[in-house]
Structure 1
Amino acid sequence: MHTHRTGAPPSRAAVLTVGTFAVGTDAFVVAGVLPDLARSLHVGVAQAAQLVTVFALAYAVLAPVLAALTGRWPRRKLLLTALLVFVLGNVATALAPSYVLVVVARLLAAAGAAMFTPNASATAAALAPPEQRARAISWVAFGLTSSTALGAPLGTFLASVLSWRETMWFVAALGVLAALGIARWLPDVPAPPAVSLRERLSPLGDRLVVRCLAVTLAMYLGVYVAYTYASVILGPATHGDGAVLAVLLLVSGCAGMVSTPLSGHLTDRVGPRWLITGAAAILLVTFALLPVASTTVVGAGIGMAAYGFGAWAVNVPQQHRLIALRPSSPALVVALNASALYLGVSLSGLAGAGALQVTSVTALPWVAAAFVAVGLLVSEGLHRRLPVSTVPTVATAPAAERQPAS
């Protein structure tokens, strides 16, 4: 298949970044507007919180299914359709008069998000020359990272001064902005060669792909055990002050905004293995020290900076590794990776709750560390089984491959 590898100029990468920023904001902002949303819909906060799980699970299930069903669509058409569904889902959420209709609207928004993000990563990779693939993917991942640092807090602020419905309109507007940018600046990327649905789903039968997905699941299950229960883990430092907690989460998000593009650059330089190993090491040390560090605001801030840096340095090399394993199905394997990530998000609450049934809050960082350690062990075992062709280095790449296509 011929692809338009033009080095992914900033304008092209930026429009995809805006789209993933919108998707990430939508995924994370609901947690920040739960009290207002619950009061408005006349349900309890616990019931309203299920909207987060509904979105994450729908994304996890729909991402690979939609990637397989739309595998023959031209990429720009697919991205625009995905954003249309995403925007309609958020508009419907903003207008929904009842909890049941909000659930339906969140499912629609999740379907659009599940179509958009994996295909945005695959499109960015297709537009870039091989030696810049990870950096192109990191542009797309940067939108998700920055949404945790900027988008979700901004949406929460809008809800505090207006209402949660205005926050949903804000997310819909971001989706429209991304769609306009894609229509204006993104070149059309040809669809992959025609293959059957069975062939598109064949990566699920590849043991190496499944093991790679297990790395994402385990790593992000650990990451989100810590994130989901951040308010209680950091309680000794925040003393229940929501403003202090918000600042600590902002520090974490900003650290992730640094590590995401850096991880893309370093993956292109040294390969994904060392990035994943280094990120896991940072997380393990952070979780080990967090019970002590979180006794002061400064210590908690340093810990959350390290946490955010390590957490967001895993996703780009994982996507790079999967695309190298299955270059003929980039959108599908990235969709499967996103499913593994969101499944980790969904299971983190259950894992943390189960841990609290048998131990105390101070043990939660160790629970998170255990999942990350499992992910690291699987990653190292996977690396030893990877074909040599999927472990590229800049130094060994063919000279012709390192030249940008004209």
Structure 2
Amino acid sequence: MGLRGRVSLSVGWVTLFLMGTDLFIVSPLLPFISEEYNVSSAMTGWMVTVFAVTYAIAAPFFGWASDKNGRGIFITFGLLLFSFSNVLTAFSPSFTWLIISRILAGLSVAAITPLIYAIIGDIAPSNRRGTWLSIVVSGHLTALWAGAPLGILLEYFLGWRSVFVVMATLGTILAVVNFKTWKYVPRSDLTRNQLEGNLLRILGSVSVTTIWAISMYALYVYLGAALYSENRFSSSEIALAVIFYGIGAVLGSLISGQFTDRFGERKISKVTLFFLTLILICLGIFFSSGDWIYFFLFIWALVGYAGFTSYQARLAVEYPEERGIVLAWNNTALYIGITIGSIIGGYVISNWGYPFLPYFCSIVAIISFVLSTQKVQETKKESADSTDT
């Protein structure tokens, strides 16, 4: 790997770490924000909802536009908007302005996260694409167990507003760094309509990610409550469980890149999705087994995020001319899956209780595995046909 490759990966990793921190830090801060603006916890939860909905709607547009006009300019724009939105979050005079700020934040991250994945996919050597993508994905996942706790620590000393001021400052610095890093990446010279005849195929492919996200987040969203209810875990034990999960997610992403480059994107993505089903069954069996739960949470995240990373690499390979829009749609599919998963998870808990949740997620995971096999085979066949012609 040359110097430019190292710089590109470092910039992508740090940028996605900041985006992940912005995503994961809001939920722990909601009680302080609720108290500040004198609104209910359910009302402050809209900060997360409007961010996710805006992201899901806007990401495909930025992916399409970047395929036609280059990615660097949109990433830079997104970071500048990110800084502005976080300043607005920090100094919002009312809760209405706070909600507006999170809408702008969702818009900004939609212009950054999927395009970082896409531009890394563009510049990575073909035999190292899985590894390069796994490295930048690990930046986003590291925020889960490192970025969010750092933000909480900052809130403890300086208040919740300071968290968004710091992120705004870092966003401005990264806007300059990203502009200088990506301005050398050539713009695609494709003039045809990249979505012509492909939209349904793309949506079919990214639906695998939606189902995967349901299988992961239907349980993860309620993990703390489940550990408290079934294992009587204290706050510190729940925090330790999340750390084990977060470390597993990062390692799974990194290991997946190495295996993907060695054995191929299709094989690794299918194998990991299949094993995710088995791990979730084991998690259900051993959920109330005391300290063993840490091990199974680690393995669950390791296998689950290895599947996500390898599938992103597979999409980058299978759609080389529509990489931006496909990875953007894939991120939209991820957020849709997270939202649906949280809703279904609540329904499962209400009707059958926490112990049934891992088994439900295992059923969803096997559906994701079957879908990935079918859709990938169709895509592969169509790609081969187009190559022959």
TM-score in same-fold range (> 0.5): yes
Deviations 1:62-84 (A, max 9, x none): 10022223443333222211111
- CA, structure 1 residues 161+245, in 2 after alignment: closer, same or farther (shift >3 Å)? farther
Residue 185 of structure 1 deviates from its aligned partner by 4.0
Match of 1:257 in 2: 250
TM-score norm. by structure 2 comes to 0.91
Corresponding residue SS for 1:266: helix
Query: 1:134 and 2:130 equivalent?
Result: yes
Aligned counterpart for 1:295 among listed residues 281, 288, 299: 288
Matched residues in 1 for 2:64 and 2:209: separation? Answer: 20
Contact 2:265–2:310 (CA under 8 A) maintained in structure 1: yes
- Count of residue correspondences: 384
Query: 1:384 and 2:380 equivalent?
Result: no
Aligned counterpart for 2:159 among listed residues 154, 159, 163: 163
Match of 2:43 in 1: 47
Unmatched 5+ residue regions in structure 2? Answer: 385-389
Match of 2:81 in 1: 85
Matched residues in 2 for 1:203 and 1:94: separation? Answer: 44
Unmatched 5+ residue regions in structure 1? Answer: 392-406
Contact 2:214–2:364 (CA under 8 A) maintained in structure 1: yes
Deviations 1:87-133 (A, max 9, x none): 11111111112221111111111111101111111111221221111
Contact 2:90–2:165 (CA under 8 A) maintained in structure 1: yes
Aligned counterpart for 2:17 among listed residues 11, 15, 21: 21
Match of 2:331 in 1: 338
Over aligned residue pairs, what C-alpha RMSD do you find?
A: 2.3
Corresponding residue SS for 1:191: coil
Mean CA deviation greater in 159-168 or 324-333: 159-168
TM-score norm. by structure 1 comes to 0.88
Residue 338 of structure 1 deviates from its aligned partner by 0.5
Match of 1:398 in 2: none
Mean CA deviation greater in 281-290 or 22-31: 281-290
Q: What amino acid maps onto 2:225 in structure 1?
A: V
Deviations 1:291-345 (A, max 9, x none): 4433244211101101211221122222222222221111111100000011111
Aligned counterpart for 1:172 among listed residues 168, 171, 188: 168
- CA, structure 1 residues 204+175, in 2 after alignment: closer, same or farther (shift >3 Å)? farther
Residue 38 of structure 1 deviates from its aligned partner by 1.0
Mean CA deviation greater in 321-330 or 144-153: 321-330
Matched residues in 2 for 1:22 and 1:204: separation? Answer: 33
Mean CA deviation greater in 174-183 or 146-155: 174-183
- CA, structure 1 residues 105+204, in 2 after alignment: closer, same or farther (shift >3 Å)? farther
Aligned counterpart for 1:326 among listed residues 309, 312, 319: 319
Contact 1:79–1:115 (CA under 8 A) maintained in structure 2: yes
Matched residues in 1 for 2:15 and 2:98: separation? Answer: 22
Deviations 1:198-257 (A, max 9, x none): x244475342x2222111000011101111010122225752522211111111111111
Match of 2:361 in 1: 368
Corresponding residue SS for 1:327: coil
Contact 2:89–2:98 (CA under 8 A) maintained in structure 1: yes
Match of 1:223 in 2: 216
Match of 2:309 in 1: 316
